[in-house]
Amino acid sequence: MAAGAAAGSGSVGGMTFGAGVPTVAVADLKDGDFLLDVREDDEWKAGHADGALHIPISEFVARYGELTEAAPQDGRVHVICRSGGRSAQVTMYLAQQGVDAVNVDGGMQVWEAVGRPVVTDDGQQGFVL
């Protein structure tokens, strides 16, 4: 499935967004795709996708530089949260900054449901809060 549009709205750093968020299905993600997890610390600690960059949405604007340093210069940023709401907000913010970003449809709930690995910081089996 190619990137499409999904409904979403919200705000990041005082910026508000409407519908039309570019999305990608979990099944369409490939090993090595750059993944940004915007869930809060307790959610991350319970379990996350191995190799994802973690910047909680509550700290995103202040820590934006970490993303620009870590993300591939000519690649896409795949943004994920628990179910897709917070990540949709960040995806729209990134798009307004000129970043090629897509929201991972269904978030970590779908990630886990389709059998993708969920790990803790020490590499153990994790779970989605």
Q: Per-residue pLDDT tens for 45-95? A: 999 999 999 999 999 999 999 999 999 988 999 999 999 999 999 999 999
Identify which of 70, 14, 6, 15 has the alpha carbon closest to the alpha carbon of residue 37.
70
Q: How far apart are CA 53 and CA 37, in angstroms?
A: 6
Does the structure show a pLDDT above 60 at 10?
no
Look at residue 19 in the predicted model and tell me its pLDDT.
Answer: 62
Q: How far apart are CA 30 and CA 5, in angstroms?
A: 20
How is domain 19-113 classified at the CATH fold level?
Oxidized Rhodanese; domain 1 (3.40.250)
Look at residue 5 in the predicted model and tell me its pLDDT.
Answer: 39
Does the structure show a pLDDT above 50 at 117?
yes
